């Protein structure tokens, strides 16, 4: 680890004084000066922490990304992968996706915080894969919010279809083409790998695994939506954590009169350890998941007519 130069420490200490005096203009100027010198400063309960700036451009915030790069990512389908750590998973999942995705696909990676150097892995892959587009943010995913990242990615995407994929999902072949086929039905707005149906007999407190055809909700391991619909009906910005937010998004799309469908047959995908769930901070995970589920119930439980009408529906 490189030692922090004395001049950087001096600037950091001066910034602490500026913050204590509530001189936030000067504080921001010093932060930028530190950054231009190749270092990042992060406020901590103990004061501050300094780390070397990574070898890539950091976008100031999601709003700047959406404003400056609107409609800049072309391709018939844009696949969003949100990165918030787990560098080995990043390499494995992205490498498989880049290997098997059709040439017209663009892989859009939103790196949140360069946790454990995961953003550096993304940057190295982007050097050798022209269809990988990278955005890096200093903030972590809990600070940015899952839905806000998805909605920003939709804004920068100029594609017919928009997909979201979790790092636990590994491609073993072309998993996209069979999914795109379901959009031949113009009423279909969303599809994906795995899906669930609401168990209305349990007051919407449980979901059951869905079979092929019309379903209530697609899970976020790998889902695809028409980009025009994603612009019209994105995930709720209040959803900071992904869990239940994928189902809330699906039900919102159904409530707007669109169909949500999964195709027949198995897709060439497998799932590895889902770190985003199993290794997230438990209190944060459960609190945010409950908030989203309570909001889902409030929005949709009184409208069972939005659910699919298949024979396997629990009612």
129 and 236 belong to one structural domain? yes
The arithmetic mean of pLDDT across residues 58-80, rounded, is 93
Same domain? 211 vs 77: yes
Which are the contacts of 221, defined by CB distance < 8 A and separation ≥ 6?
A: 165, 166, 168, 169, 192, 193, 194, 269, 271
**Mean pLDDT score, 248-260:** 98
Q: Considering the chain, what percentage of its residues have pLDDT values greater than 90?
A: 85
φ/ψ of residue 106, rounded to 5: -115, 135
Cα separation of 55 and 252, whole Å?
40
Q: Could you tell me the residue range of the domain that residue 41 belongs to?
A: 6-52
Could you give the strand order of the β-sheet that contains 217-218, starting from the edge strand earlier in sequence? Answer: 206-209, 195-199, 217-218
Rounded Cα distance, 40 and 132, in Å: 25
In a domain? residue 314 = no
Name which of 204, 199, 201 is nearest 302 in CA terms. 204
Overall average pLDDT of the 235-243 stretch: 97
CA distance 235 to 242: 10
Does the pLDDT at position 54 exceed 90? no
Q: Is 311 a domain residue?
A: no
Average pLDDT value for the chain: 94
Token code pair at residue 46: 């103990």
The pLDDT score that the predictor gives to residue 311 is 44
Residue position matching structure tokens 């985003």: 276
Give pLDDT tens digits for 176-201: 999 999 999 999 999 999 999 999 99
The answer to the question of residue 226 being in a domain is yes
Average pLDDT over residues 133-144: 94
pLDDT for res 315: 46
Position 120 pLDDT exceeds 90 = yes
* Residue 313 belongs to a domain: no
Question: How far apart are the C-alpha atoms of 84 and 115, rounded to whole Å?
Answer: 6
**Tokens read off for 132:** 């990988």
8 Å CB contact between 309 and 192: no
Reported as a pLDDT band with limits 50, 70 and 90, residue 55 is: confident
Is pLDDT of 1 > 70?
Answer: no
Mean pLDDT across the stretch 68-82?
96
CB neighbours of residue 157 within 10 Å: 28
Q: Are residues 224 and 166 in the same domain?
A: yes
Is 146 among the domain residues?
yes
Give the model's pLDDT for residue 40: 84
Look at residue 57 and tell me whether its pLDDT is greater than 60.
yes
| pLDDT 10s digits, 299-308 | 999 999 999 9
Q: Residue 226: CB partners within 8 Å, gap ≥ 6?
A: 160, 161, 162, 183, 189, 190
- For residues 121 and 109, what is the distance between their CA atoms, to the nearest angstrom? 11
User: 315 vs 100, which has greater pLDDT?
Assistant: 100
139 and 252 part of one domain: yes
What is the predicted pLDDT for the residue at 52? 84
Q: What CA–CA distances, in Å, run from 81 to 61, 103, 221, 283, 294? A: 17, 17, 10, 24, 26
Q: Is 201 exposed, middle or buried (0-12, 13-18, 19+ CB in 10 A)?
A: exposed
Instruction: Give the DSSP letter of residue 58.
Output: P
Q: What is the value of pTM for the model shown?
A: 0.87
Confidence (pLDDT) at 145: 97
pLDDT at residue 138 in the model: 85
pLDDT at residue 144 greater than cutoff 80: yes
**CA separation for the pair 139, 149 (Å, rounded):** 11
Q: Are residues 12 and 101 in the same domain?
A: no
- For 3, the 3-state DSSP assignment is coil
Grouping H, G, I as helix, E, B as strand and the rest as coil, residue 46 is coil
Quote the pLDDT of residue 288: 97
The gap from C-alpha 179 to its chain's centroid, in whole angstroms, comes to 19
Domain total of the chain: 2
Q: State the Cα–Cα distance between residues 152 and 66, nearest whole angstrom.
A: 5
Structure tokens at 41: 């400063």
What's the pLDDT score for residue 2?
76
User: Does 264 lie in the same domain as 187?
Assistant: yes
Half-sphere exposure of 90 (CA within 13 A, CB side): 27
Residue 313 pLDDT > 90, yes or no? no
Task: Kindly state whether residues 76 and 18 are assigned to the same domain.
Answer: no
């Amino acid at each position: 680890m490189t030692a922090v130069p004395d001049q950087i420490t001096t600037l950091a200490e001066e910034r602490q004084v500026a913050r204590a005096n509530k001189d936030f203009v000067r504080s921001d100027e010093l932060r930028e000066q530190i950054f231009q010198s190749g270092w990042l400063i992060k406020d901590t309960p103990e004061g501050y922490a300094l780390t070397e700036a990574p070898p890539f451009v950091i976008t100031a915030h999601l709003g700047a990304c959406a404003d400056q790069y609107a409609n800049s990512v072309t391709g018939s389908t844009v696949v969003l992968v949100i990165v918030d750590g787990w560098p080995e998973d990043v390499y494995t999942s992205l490498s498989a996706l880049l290997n098997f995705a059709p040439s017209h696909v663009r892989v859009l990676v939103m790196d949140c915080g360069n946790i454990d150097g995961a953003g550096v892995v993304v940057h190295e892959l982007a050097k050798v894969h022209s269809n990988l587009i990278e955005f890096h943010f200093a903030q972590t995913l809990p600070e940015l919010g899952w839905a806000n990242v998805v909605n920003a990615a939709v804004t920068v995407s100029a594609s017919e279809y928009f997909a979201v994929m979790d790092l636990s999902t590994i491609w073993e072949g072309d998993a996209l083409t069979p999914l795109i086929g379901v959009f031949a039905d113009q009423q279909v707005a969303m599809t994906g790998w795995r899906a669930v149906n609401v168990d209305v007999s349990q007051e919407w407190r449980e979901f059951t695994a869905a079979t092929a055809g019309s379903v209530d909700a697609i899970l976020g391991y790998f889902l695809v939506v028409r980009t025009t619909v994603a612009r019209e009906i994105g995930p709720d910005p209040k959803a900071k954590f992904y869990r239940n937010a994928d189902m809330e998004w699906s039900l919102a799309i159904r409530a707007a009169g669109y169909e949500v469908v999964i195709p027949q047959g198995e897709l060439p995908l497998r799932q590895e350890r889902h770190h985003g769930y199993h290794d997230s901070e438990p209190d944060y995970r459960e609190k945010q998941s409950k908030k989203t589920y309570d909001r889902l119930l409030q929005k949709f439980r009184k409208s069972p007519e939005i659910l699919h009408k298949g024979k396997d529906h629990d009612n």
